[in-house]
Amino acid sequence: MSDMTSTADAPRSPGRPRSVRADEAIIEATLDLLAEGSTIEALSIEAIAARAGVGKATIYRRWSGKDALLMDALRRLKGVPPQPAGHSVRDDLVLLVGAVGHNVDPRAARIMPCLVPEVNRSPDHFQLYQNIIEPRRKLMREVLRRGVDSGELRADLDIELAMALLSGPMLIQRVLRWHPELDERILPERVVDSVLEGLRAR
């Protein structure tokens, strides 16, 4: 940690504590405005700058524009994805299904559902949203492919469909609070085991 006095002398130096604090304030201001009900469309660099207590130039030094800033802000909501251990396909799926729809920031509950109709109206915003979730999907896709290769999963598995089967129940419970009686803590394990085994009597 640098000390405050020396930082104050060189405010433009990148990566120094003052710019880190400014970056943080800008991200926080963006998330606060979205959580308070601002649409992506209505959100402006001016409003974010005013809320963060910085000049617009400070934002443009760090981000190319609103979409780049939005992407960093929305990524912040989700935190870092878990890393599969690579031993058991079933255990890795339980880990990844447990991360589906999980957000580390409580503002996500207000921001994410309302974002959906908006991103669906704009191809650019839809792409931005896909860019945020795609790295997470990639992890699950890799585990499923490993399962097909090892013979644990059906050889004719449709990977994209399998991802929807595993992610859907978790997402509706977390984002839509679909069923009041399903216990979210044990849901990942129960979803994975049921989807792997199937519901048909044998």
For residue 136, give both structure tokens.
Answer: 């997470």
CB 96, CB 62: distance < 8 Å: no
Question: Which range touches a copy of itself (CB under 8 A), out of 8-16, 26-34, 69-77, 180-188?
Answer: 180-188
For residue 187, give both structure tokens.
Answer: 């849901």
Closest CB 83 distance from a copy of itself, rounded Å: 22
Instruction: Rule CB under 8 A: choose which of 57, 85, 117, 185 binds a copy of itself.
Output: 117
Instruction: Rule CB under 8 A: choose which of 1, 80, 85, 199 binds a copy of itself.
Output: 199
Instruction: Indicate the residue type of 59.
Output: I
What is the radius of gyration, based on Cα positions, of the chain?
A: 21
Question: Using the rule CB under 8 A, is 196 a contact of a copy of itself?
Answer: yes
Nearer to a copy of itself, 61 or 145 (CB): 145
Closest CB 154 distance from a copy of itself, rounded Å: 5
Per-residue interface string for the shown chain with a copy of itself, residues 66-105, x marking contact by CB under 8 A: ----------------------------------------
Give per-residue burial for 4-13: e unless 16+ CB within 10 Å, then b.
Answer: eeebeeeeee
Instruction: Indicate the residue type of 92.
Output: D
Instruction: Rule CB under 8 A: choose which of 43, 50, 114, 139 binds a copy of itself.
Output: 114
Write the DSSP string, 53-98. TS-HHHHHHH-SSHHHHHHHHHHHHH-PPP---SS-HHHHHHHHHH
Q: How many residues does the chain have?
A: 202
**Binders of a copy of itself: how many residues, by CB under 8 A?**
50
Instruction: Report the site for a copy of itself in 119-178 (rule: CB under 8 A).
Output: 120, 126, 130, 151-155, 157-158, 160-165, 167-173, 175-178
Nearer to a copy of itself, 9 or 183 (CB): 183
How does DSSP classify residue 157?
-
Per-residue interface string for the shown chain with a copy of itself, residues 25-54, x marking contact by CB under 8 A: ------------x-x---------------
The Cα–Cα gap between 52 and 108 comes to 19
